Structure 1
Amino acid sequence: MAYVACIALLVGAFAYTFWPEKNPFVQRSASRIDFLRERRESIFANLRDLNFEYKAGKYPEEDYATQRAMLEDEAATIVREIDTLERV
């Protein structure tokens, strides 16, 4: 009799924890704007790293200018798209 009660309690606990509609930890699907914000932060971090490495002497001037321009162009495109999506 005690085994039946333990099994019922165990099944109930699993059902309560993992039931899809009751689970508060379900992740919502990421939207396009969430992806763009994450990408923007990544690009800004890359720009900070690039500036640091350039000042440390790890990049020649030409490579630094090329990489920085490429990252800044990508960041501008992403910021523009974020602004467009937020207006809608």
Structure 2
Amino acid sequence: MGAIACIALTIILFAFIFWPEKNPFFQADKTRIDYLRERKDVIYENLRDLNFEYLAGKYPEQDYAEQRAALEDEAAQVVSEIETLEESGMRGRSRA
């Protein structure tokens, strides 16, 4: 009886681990908007880190200002592109 339980448990574990939906090598296709949203999150995280490190005294004010301006410009471009893609996607759906 114990051997049958072990075999059943092993089969269940193999099915759970190797079931196609659980395959770690499978990746869903990302859209441009998905990529941009991830990029926006990374930029905002970098801005938070930059502010923290500046307040901790790790950056001179000029370097901080330059890096902050560059990150803010990149964030503005990403947000603008997200809005443009979302608007065009909404218009495309309303026409159909």
- TM-score normalised to structure 1 length: 0.72
Counterpart position of 1:6: none
SS in 2 for 1:85: helix
Unaligned runs of 5+ in 1: 1-9
Identical positions, percent: 59
Cα distance in 1, alignment partners of residues 73 and 84 from structure 2 = 17
Counterpart position of 1:42: 42
Counterpart of 2:40, as a letter, is R
CA-based RMSD: 1.9
Measure how far apart 1:87 and its partner are.
0.6
Unaligned runs of 5+ in 2: 1-10, 89-96
Cα distance in 1, alignment partners of residues 69 and 29 from structure 2 = 32
Measure how far apart 1:27 and its partner are.
3.6
SS in 2 for 1:69: helix
Question: In the alignment, does 2:36 pair up with 1:29?
Answer: no
Measure how far apart 1:24 and its partner are.
3.8
Q: 1 or 2, which has the higher helix percentage?
A: 2
- TM-score normalised to structure 2 length: 0.67
SS in 2 for 1:78: helix
Q: How many residues align?
A: 72
1:9-63 CA-to-partner distances (Å, cap 9, x unmatched) read x7xx87xx55xxxx44554200000000000000000000000000000000000
1:65-80 correspondence to structure 2 within 5 Å: 65-80=65-80
Counterpart of 1:45, as a letter, is E
